[in-house]
Structure 1
């Protein structure tokens, strides 16, 4: 093994050890300096290689672990916000609130209540690629999924907001989506989205929105655009978690080898969408 490979293996071992340490000690909310000392690195060097290997900073990883534990307490044990904050190693419910809003896009209470008091309108519409379930809140589109099985698609939506009030009707927001499917696909940017996700996910989804119809990007190029060049795998996970099919064009991301790769709603559908958009883009050039 050459020197470069030896160093990479050493770094991997250190990051693995650091991840295990954070997972075991998150209730103490260890500082960057404490974790770095545990793996015998300077804070600066540890921060750099951890971010390269894990795709997120040590602080963000600690937040994710803390949030995961807090969500379990709120959902499974129905703990109070104060007790949840204490059992998660946070100084108070204020820090718990900030953590949830920053990463989940909702307050701890809203998460615990599963979207209680949230009104969601939904409808089924036809697209060139099959039937879709579309849903919106008063703030904008919150969910779009292909609905080969209408019942399963609706259950998938309700699983995200189990306590919300659902009404099957076509409101103004959903009507705009339907019109895009039948008239002008180039006005997607005019539709407001109501999304919840981590800062990293939102950054990836925002980058996807900038891929023009008829063009493609790779996982690596998306990682570079968000200034995380070694986080292609994390980028792929965020793309797979896209809650709004087609409007956030995760289908336009392919492997660096040129293979289209997998797609949440089927690789055949992904190929059809890419081909359809390529023809539309070529036709627009001819018309010009």
Structure 2
């Protein structure tokens, strides 16, 4: 499926989510298709191509009850000994990603002397703003809920002293391999994480949550050796600049509540539902 197709399919799905939320009961395929201006057969075919499961099944994954079920049935306990700190080389190899952190001193300079390239790209979850340095992707934001201007302001404000250069072609190979969920030409999709020491530890812990599974803010706090710092951990989760690839959407409240999501709760619900559907389809 092309990037343009993925983005179109997400827009259809987003409208379907809004329709589902507006009602008190589950909606039939015919009703949803009618609201999308499509025949039931076409809507089901398009939706299943995007999600991997039928609209009826996906609708179940979008409910708040599904979030609680995920926490009950797919809870991940993070290993403290493996999750605390970075390796001596400053790199974490996880799945198809190659991960490198900026030093605390570099972070304190707020991006001074750093060139950050940026571009807009279609994604499975709508239009995305991707940023990267010479070392790798340093930011991904979704514009579906907050809009393009606010997404741009959000990411650029994190490194106010950096020089920002529009260069989508420079980023495209990394973006394509990242969104496809596979290694790029060099064997890994590179990430360049720019954050405080606490944020880096939290983001590293997030990297250890497998797709289709979730954990809690308190579990992350325990895993990084700061069990009393749940609030600070929640803040660090919310400041994760690389959405989806560093899966902050897999962090939830102990109650089973979704908690917040920087790029909008509808996007978080879509991310969780999409991953569950992909796991089922696979």
Distance in 1, Cα, partners of 2:156 & 2:223: 33
Structure 1 outlier segments of 4+, above 6 Å: none
Which of 200, 204, 218 is matched with 1:220 structurally? Answer: 218
Partner of residue 138, structure 1 = 134
**Structure 2 alignment gaps of length 5 or more:** 1-101
The worse-fitting range, judged by mean Cα deviation, of 150-159 and 123-132 is 150-159
Partner of residue 79, structure 1 = none
**Normalised TM-score (structure 2):** 0.57
The aligned runs of 1:34-183 (5 Å cut-off) are: 103=104, 105-106=106-107, 111=109, 115-148=111-144, 149-181=147-179
Deviation at 1:196, TM superposition (A): 2.2
1:253-276 alpha-carbon deviations (Å, 9 max, x no partner): 111111212111111111111010
More strand by share: 2
Tell me if structure 2 keeps the 8 A contact 1:135–1:174. Answer: no
SS of match in other structure, 1:237 = helix
1:45-100 alpha-carbon deviations (Å, 9 max, x no partner): xxxxxxxxxxxxxxxxxxxxxxxxxxxxxxxxxxxxxxxxxxxxxxxxxxxxxxxx
Which of 206, 209, 217 is matched with 1:208 structurally? Answer: 206
More helix by share: 1
Deviation at 1:238, TM superposition (A): 0.8
Partner of residue 256, structure 1 = 254
Partner of residue 62, structure 1 = none
Distance in 2, Cα, partners of 1:160 & 1:260: 25
Partner of residue 193, structure 2 = 195
Compute the RMSD of aligned alpha carbons. 2.4
**Structure 1 alignment gaps of length 5 or more:** 1-100
**Normalised TM-score (structure 1):** 0.56
- Which has the bigger relative contact order, CA under 8 A and spacing at least 6? 2
Task: Classify 1:116/1:236 alpha carbon distance in 2 versus 1 (closer, same or farther; 3 Å).
Answer: closer
Count of residue correspondences: 177
Task: Classify 1:125/1:230 alpha carbon distance in 2 versus 1 (closer, same or farther; 3 Å).
Answer: same
